[in-house]
Every structure is written in C-alpha cells, then in structure tokens.
Structure 1
Amino acid sequence: MKIRPKHLNKGDTVGIIALSGPINLESLQRNISLFTDMGLHYKLGKTIELNEHDFEETDEAWVHDLHQMIEDPEVKGIFCATDRYGAAKIADKIDYSLLTEHPKIFWGFSDITFLHIAIQQYSNVVTFHGPSLSKELDEQSKKMFYQLFSPFEIYYDETISPLESLIPGSVRGEFIGGNLRRIVDTLGTKFEIDTRDKILLIEDEELSIEEIDRMFNHLRLAGKLKGACGFVIGRLGNGDVEENALSLIKEYLLPYKKPTVARFNIGHSTPNIGIPLGVDVILDADEKLLRFLPGVE
C-alpha cells in the first residue's frame, strides 16, 4: 500500500516550484488566485524566478527547491508550475527518503510523469496527476483541486466526458502511468515503470501515428503491456488522429484481453481532470466507469 499524504485544511501553506522548464509569470499569476480562493497560503520556490538560460545551466537549483519544500514543516503540498521538459534530469539526484519521512501532496503532469513514477517506486507515496499552473484552467479542472481537502472517492464516468470501451471486462488494481513519452523514457533506467498487475494510464499531446506505433511497440517488447491488468487511455490527439490512434492501440492491446477504456479527459485535454496515482481503482469497461480510492488521508 502506498502512503497517502494528509489532506489540506483552510489556512495551510503550499509550495509552488518549477521542475520542468521556466514558467511564464503572467500565466502563473492568472492561476495562483486558485489557492487563495481555496483558503490557502503559498510559497514560491526559487525555481519560479529562473529564466530559460538558468534552466539550461543548473539542475541543482531544481533539486534544492524540491528538497526545501519537502522539508519545510509549513508546506503541506507541492505543486509543479510547469510541464515542459527536463524533470528526468534530476530523478537520480532526489533524496526519496525525505518524502517517505514527510509525505506531502505532489501535483503535476506531462513531463512530471517521470517523477511520479520515480516517487512511487522509491518514496512509496501517492502523487497527483493534474494540470500545471502554466496552463489556463477551466472551472471543471479547478474543481478537482478540492479533492485534496477531504478523503473521498472519485468517479469518472460519461457524465464527465464521452468514453469508448475498447476491450470489455472489469478489474481492480493500482493506478499508475501518465504521459506516454515519459513512460517510455523510464525504460532501461533504474526508474523503469513496473506495470505488473497495475492499471496503466497513457496520455499525451497530439502525436503522429508513427510515434504512437513506435512507443507502443517499445512497451510491448519491454513486457509492459502484457504485465498490466488494465488500460486507461487519455487524449492522444483530435479528430482523425485520435480515431487512427485508438484503432492502432486496440490492435496492440487486444491480444492481452485486459479491460481498456479510452477518451478520458486526463492530461493534455480540456478539462484536465486531476486524479491520484498509486491508489487502487476499479476500471469497468462494460459500464465505462473508473472509480478511485481517495488520494489523501
């Protein structure tokens, strides 16, 4: 069982850092009011002030910022403001025991997928796959931050968005994964994703069919598709691109006969529904339902 961080209370302080490329401060200012609206205080990490050149120069600042937020007793949650590139460069420099000793909410997506996988393997802590503060947030995406205030279950069904069942069946398992490119990036490293008996989330920005084919074949050859017990497919593109992508994905997954549902608005989509990683979920491909246990205690 993964360690669930404690839930937030009004009046708590959260930390905002940039571990994946520099942030546009105007974008941050548009979204930072979300925390004050929720009754929270916030601290900005030093990485928020780094510009493009600084990010090319130093990884130490990223690690120091993360460690400082984890060790700060006032900070109850850590939110990644950016999701562009580079988070994997610090994965082998993080002291994962710090987060095990001080389990806190860790929130981000896209490029941050690499750190989600690393934290769950080496800290054994539940993390949260949700929109970064560099994106414009719609109201439904904002509402998902409120799951951090109370341990309640999340139900994702077709009242949130139309879903497509690719392979029937129902299964319960630990929920892992995220961005397709970053999942593949873990292969062959000490942070290689372990999909055995787990339900794998796969999403990404619009990719070409050739890219999707190459990466799914890589996962197949690495045994990651065979090992999983179910698949949740987020958005991978629009229109014909997504239709062709889902046909290709179905070809890859049909031989394993594992429950699979697609078109979840989790990741690069609007809305971007924030969800916990590392908790048990029930995936029912017949009813087109994904049910999450709470991510906080």
Structure 2
Amino acid sequence: MITPSNLHKGDLIGLISPSAKIDPSILYSATRLLEAKGYRVKQGEHALSQHYYFAGTDSQRAHDFQLMLDDPSIKMIICNRGGYGMVKIIDRLDFSCFLDNPKWIAGYSDITVLHCHLAMLYKTKSIHSIMPYDFPADGNSCLAIDKLLEVAGGKKPTYNLPTHDLNLEGSANGMLVGGNISILTSLLGSQSELDTEGSILFLEEVGEPLYRLDRMMQTLKRSGKLSSLAGLIVGGMTKMNEEQEDYGLSAEEVIMDMISDVNYPVCFGFPAGHFPENHPLIIGGEVSLSVNKNSVKIIFK
C-alpha cells in the first residue's frame, strides 16, 4: 500500500465539500482552528456553494476535488462533511497526478466511498477521521482533531480499549478496510467494492432503524464480506432508534448475530463514528488486533 507524504507545520491543507452543503460559520471556524495549529488552509472554490442538498453541482464538487488532487502545493485534503454525494463524483476524478505525489485525504461517513476507492483501485492509504462539520462549536480543538493531525504527520496510532461483553477473543494482523455500513453495502457490485479477504474490517453506522441494519449486515454476510476476515472492529452505532423499536436486539447484537460462528477476533466499542471523539484510523494500513478478556489493543504498524 502507498503511504502518503507526512504533513508538517506550515503545510497547506485543502478543505473541500464533496457531498452535502455546509454552514459557512462551521468552515470559517475550522479554518481558524487549523491555522492556529500552524497550518495554512485553502478552501475549495465551491466549498460553500449550495445546490439544493449538495455543496454545489456534481461538476462543481468534482472540479474542486480534482484541483486539490492535482495541486502539489496542497499536502493534505480534509473533507468538510459527509451526508451524500461522494459517489456521484468519484468516477469523474482522475488520480494520475495524485499518485505521483500522494497526500493524505481524511473524512468519514459518506467519504467511505473514497476510502474504498483509494484502497481497492489505487492501493493508497487514507484516514477515517473527524471532519470540520463535527469540530467543536466553541472553536477549540479536541483529542480527535489532535490525533488526526498526528497521524497525518506520520505517527502510527495505538489504541488500548476497555473490554465489551460481545467481544470475541483472539489475535490477528491484516490491512484495515471499511467504514460506514450503508456505504459499504451500496458499493457492492461496483469497482470500489471492498475485497475483505484476510483484512480487518471496521464498521460504524448512524441513524438507521435496526431492521435496516440487519438487512445491510445480511447483505454483507451473503456477499462473503464477513466470512474470510482476519478480524472485525465495530465502532459507533449512533442514534440507532433502539428505544423506539421492538426488535429484540441492540445494534451491536444485530452485528453479533451475523458473526456468532466465526473464529476471528471481534472488538466492539471502538471510539470512531458519528460522535465528537471520532478517533482516526488508517484505512489501508497494516494493523494488529488483540482481544482478550481483560483488554483490547489495536496497533498500526
């Protein structure tokens, strides 16, 4: 896998909106925060555009992304928010210049499309992380932002986690892939579809009724995405409407129901997903997962 160049203080970070529109005040606050940390910031030409639900038309959003992929002065690209829209522009993008000078691209949720595309087609790492849309409203930094910038700067993260009643013990090594469950299932049959064999899969979700989560997990299982894993890391299951449904299972139990007979380690409760402390993960990075009755350790190599 290709590792993008490290980010350094003074480098230029590009902020783009490839999916849903974003409030200008959020983007201005994020710009000030990153500048205060010693980076220069360039906003995409249409970062604040509005075209109904989207941050500009498909052509405008693709134009912004292409310029930042091609611009060698931009050392990192951070997507401003998710929502929906990345899949509408992904096939318009030309990664030729990017591959000559690979840079970190960060985001999550709808940006799962890009993570999968980069890992599967271009064998290039990216960062699943917090985005400006989720930066603290008071304009201050938080641990998730600090860790994102550390990872972009070359630090390989290590996570020590508490145990979870649903964890399955074991140890594994493999390439980390994954992201948002609904996005992963939507990519099946496309050129960006994940090959999960021998990999450690990360999953997170937000705002889905449990029957939809169940259906998506059934789809991943029936398509073979869960059978040949080296390991599974489950992150946030946020606002899943569990208290409003008589489904008989929690979101985590729905996932466990799909993998109850596997022989690889499974870790629940990783702090990444749709909540403020969305800690960074290197998609495409080699990772060691160790789960036992007393602790969970995740080490990027």
Q: Paired residue for 1:288?
A: 296
Amino-acid identity (%): 27
Match of 1:271?
277
Q: Which residue is equivalent to 1:64? A: 63
Post-superposition offset of 1:56: 8.1
Alpha-carbon distance in structure 1 between the residues aligned to 2:95 and 2:223: 26
Residue matched to 2:160: 157
SS for the counterpart of 2:47 is helix
Q: Give ranges in structure 2 of 5+ residues lacking alignment.
A: 244-248
Per the TM alignment, residue 112 of structure 1 is displaced from its structure 2 partner at its CA by 0.4
Is the CA contact (8 Å cut-off) linking 2:22 and 2:55 kept in structure 1?
Answer: no
Unaligned runs of 5+ in 1: none
8 Å contact kept, 2:177–2:202: yes
TM-score, structure 1 as length reference: 0.91
1:28 to 2:36 alignment: no
Within 2, Cα distance between the matches of 1:142 and 1:13?
Answer: 16
Q: How does 1:111-126 map to 2 (within 5 A)?
A: 111-126=110-125
RMSD: 2.1
- 1:113-165 deviation digits (Å, cap 9, x = unpaired): 0111011122221100011111233611122123245422211113xx66555
**For 1:94-116, what per-residue CA distance to the aligned partner results, in whole angstroms no more than 9, with x for missing partners?**
11333222200100100000111
Question: How many Å separate the matches in 1 of 2:187 and 2:241?
Answer: 29
Give secondary structure in 1 for the equivalent of 2:261. helix
2:150 to 135, 147, 150: 147
TM-score, L = length of structure 2: 0.90
Question: Partners of 2:28 and 2:104 in 1: how far apart?
Answer: 21
The residue number in structure 2 matching 1:16 is 15
Does structure 2 retain, via aligned residues, the 8 Å contact 1:141–1:271? yes
Q: In the alignment, is the contact (CA less than 8 A) between 1:165 and 1:288 conserved in 2?
A: no
Which deviations, in whole Å up to 9, do the C-alpha atoms of 1:50-87 show, x marking residues without a partner?
11338387312122111111111210000101111111
Deviations 1:241-275 (A, max 9, x none): 39712122112112222110011111112311122
| Residue 262 of structure 2 is aligned to residue 256 of structure 1 | yes
Q: Which residue of structure 2 aligns with residue 80 of structure 1?
A: 79
Q: Is the 8 A contact 1:34 1:142 kept in 2?
A: no
Which amino acid is the alignment partner of residue 299 of structure 2?
R
Change over 3 Å in CA distance of 1:93–1:240 after alignment to 2? closer
Contact kept in structure 2, 1:99 and 1:125, CA below 8 Å: no
Amino acid across the alignment from 1:222 = S
Instruction: Give 2:90's aligned residue.
Output: 91
CA contact (8 A) 2:49 2:56 kept: no
Aligned residues: 290
Q: Distance in 1 between matches of 2:79 and 2:41?
A: 13
Greater displacement, 177-186 / 148-157: 148-157
Query: Who is 1:203 aligned against?
Result: 204
Contact 1:164-1:263 at 8 Å conserved across structures: no
Aligned residue identity for 2:285: V
**What is the alpha-carbon distance in structure 1 between the residues aligned to residue 240 and residue 72 of structure 2?**
47
